[in-house]
Chain A
Amino acid sequence: MRRALIYLMLTVASLVMVLPLLYMLSLSLQTEAETLAAEAVIVPESPQWGNYAELFERAPFGDFIVNSLVVAGAITLAHLLFDPLVGYVFAKFRFPLRNTLFVALLATLMVPFFVRMIPLYVLMAHLGWINTYQGLITPFLMDAFGIFLMRQFIQPIPDDLISAARIDGASEFAIYRRIILPQTRPALAVLGLFTFVFQWNEFLWPLVATTTPEMRTIPVGLTLFNQEYFTLWHLTAAGSVILFVPTAVLFIVSQRYFVRGIALTGLR
């Protein structure tokens, strides 16, 4: 009886979570008439795959996809390059001002993005970087959370390994590259996944920092497309599916990493 109730609750909750997304898929395959029919269509009579082609004709959707890939990809790469290196330094090196710098780093966790939004816009306008890839990418090249995560992960690696390599005459960068980095692989996977998904979904900065359709990322391009063609819901839905598919695929193939990653964020 209790067990049945729990199953019921979980099933209802799961349906509430998943059905809207399935409806989005259905909507993306409906004819315009079906999206407006007095009785809502749940399963389209014949799937209109042509909607996806029409979307690319009405908006530079190919550009949106390339922009999203470039921006989210570059930022993810930068995190994977810098976060473990900086985390390693804070985990294993002693140097003057170490604690001061670490506190200054963690303090940036308290700074929400909207605080940086206006000055970053002014800075980018000054540099002529509005509506450019460098303008979209540079504000997110590193973040304190990724560095903190890597530091926590690197700290338990025995110091003896590092000393032994130093005695063998390995250069400091070789120690990082050959000894530390290979051991951080699980943490890097979590870091890479989360960074990519968050940047792929990012909305506010690409909205502020782009001025022409050709430079927009998918979330922004799609939202502004919807404002322009607000009755063409089947096309907006098709764009939403395109935006969702990469994260859904990443999630399905690496569900464990996501769950572990979220749990890690809570273990502070």
Chain B
Amino acid sequence: MSVLRPRTLSARYARTAYLFLLPAILFFAAFFYLPIGNVVSTSLMTGPQADRFTGLGNYAQALADPSVRHSFLVTVAFAVAVVAGSIVLGLALALALDRPLRGRVAFRMMLLVPYLTSVAIVGLLWRNILDPELGVLNRSLSAVGLPEQQWLNTHPLLTIAAITLWQSAGYTMVLFLAGLQGIPETFHEAAKIDGADGWHRFWRITLPLLAPTTLFVSVMAVISGLQAFGQAYIITNGGPGDATDLSVFHIFNVAFRARDFGYASAQSVLLLVVIVAFTLIQLRAGRRGEVQY
């Protein structure tokens, strides 16, 4: 009786709240918390059915496995390149656009377009452009007598990082633009009166006051860089050799090609721990460096 007809108002509101929340509670339990529990429990299993308990065996194997270590290092290098590129390129474009310009909206639109494309388009298109024989780049270069490129063979990791930047630079630019617009104009005016030139104003005012945006951009870029998959799957197939064997691509292959769900789960958990650790370190470092105004 009391469950159906709560006596107090606050109990009635609580009942309404839980009623409205019910689908969400069920969803997040079934599709987030249950899978997280399962990935941990599967990581303790081995065998083709992942049904033999092995304790921490998969973790020990992963930490000692040179191919896992290699793919992790490749992934970190890739993420570092993407983070650095995102900040430099995104900020440069935002600074260029943060002023009254003719065609400002059109520029912003063109710069943002690749962000809307699927990784399938990004991957297939750039694989075609850079293909040593069939690619439009080499066919154009040789037609005008310039030396051909082999970037996907000579610098595969940097090349797929650059392709990733092609897609994401517009996104970071918009984030930086929003950050720039949050800096009160009075600071720049005061500095101008004090005789600071543009260069000084950038280093002493713009950059420190942009710190929260820079932090957010770098956290997002690290998180997405460490879990890149399509670039390796579509463009390089992890190669040449294992030069672009990004971690999630490696995990995907262990799980769905070698069918070792236990080993793949352990590697997923390890990568998750790394991502969470990176994020917490960045947030802590960022909070210490934050400027109040």
Spell out A's residues near B (CB within 8 Å): 6-7, 9-10, 13-14, 16-18, 20-21, 23-24, 27, 35-40, 82, 85-86, 88-89, 93-96, 98, 101, 104-105, 108, 110-123, 138-139, 141-142, 144, 147, 172, 176, 197, 200-204, 207-208, 218-220, 222-223, 226, 231, 233, 236-237, 240, 243-244, 247-248, 251-252, 255, 258-259, 262-263, 265-268
Contact = CB atoms under 8 A, between A and B. Distances in A.
Given A6-B101, A94-B10, A219 B119 contact: yes
A24 B271 contact: no
Interface stretch (B56-64, B66-74, B123-131, B153-161): B123-131
B118 A200 contact: yes
Contact of A89 (B10, B20, B256): B20
A118 B36 CA distance: 10
Interface of B: 10, 13-14, 16-18, 20-21, 23-25, 27-28, 31-36, 38-39, 42, 92-93, 96-97, 99, 101, 105, 107-114, 116-121, 123-126, 128-129, 134, 136, 139-140, 142-143, 166, 169-171, 174-175, 177-179, 213, 216-217, 223, 226-227, 229-230, 233-234, 248, 251-252, 255-256, 261, 264-265, 268-269, 271-272, 275-276, 279
A171 B128 CA distance: 59
A231 B134 contact: yes
A130 to B, nearest CB: 12
B271 A114 contact: yes
B20 A88 contact: yes
Contacts of B271: 114-115
Contact of A95 (B13, B117, B169, B279): B13
B28 A119 contact: no
A27 B121 CA distance: 13
Given A96-B14, A115-B39, A116-B31, A223 B20 contact: no
Contacts of A247: 116-117
Nearest to B135: A40
Given A104-B33, A119-B39, 14 more contacts: A14-B110, A17-B113, A20-B114, A94-B13, A95-B18, A108-B32, A114-B248, A115-B35, A117-B255, A118-B264, A203-B120, A204-B230, A219-B121, A243-B121
Contacts, number: 249
Nearest to A113: B227
B117 A40 contact: no
20 contacts: A6-B101, A10-B107, A14-B107, A17-B113, A18-B113, A39-B143, A40-B140, A104-B33, A118-B268, A123-B38, A219-B118, A219-B120, A231-B134, A236-B124, A243-B118, A259-B112, A262-B174, A263-B177, A266-B175, A267-B178
Contact of A36 (B93, B134, B223): B134
Contacts of A147: 24
A110 B116 contact: no
A203 B230 contact: yes
A244 B109 CA distance: 15
Contacts of B20: 85-86, 88-89, 93, 172, 176
Nearest to A2: B198
B36 A141 contact: no
A16 B129 contact: no
B227 A114 contact: yes
B254 to A, nearest CB: 10
A172 B120 CA distance: 44
A116 B117 CA distance: 24
Contacts of B42: 118-119, 122
A114 B121 contact: no
B120 A220 contact: yes
Contacts of A116: 31-32, 35-36, 39
B180 to A, nearest CB: 11
Contacts of A219: 118-121
Given A115-B272, A139-B31, A101 B111 contact: no
B96 A6 contact: yes
Contacts of A115: 35-36, 39, 268-269, 271-272
Contacts of B129: 20, 23
A35 B35 contact: no
B113 A203 contact: no
B255 A118 contact: yes
Contact of B124 (A38, A117, A118, A226): A226
Contacts of B33: 104
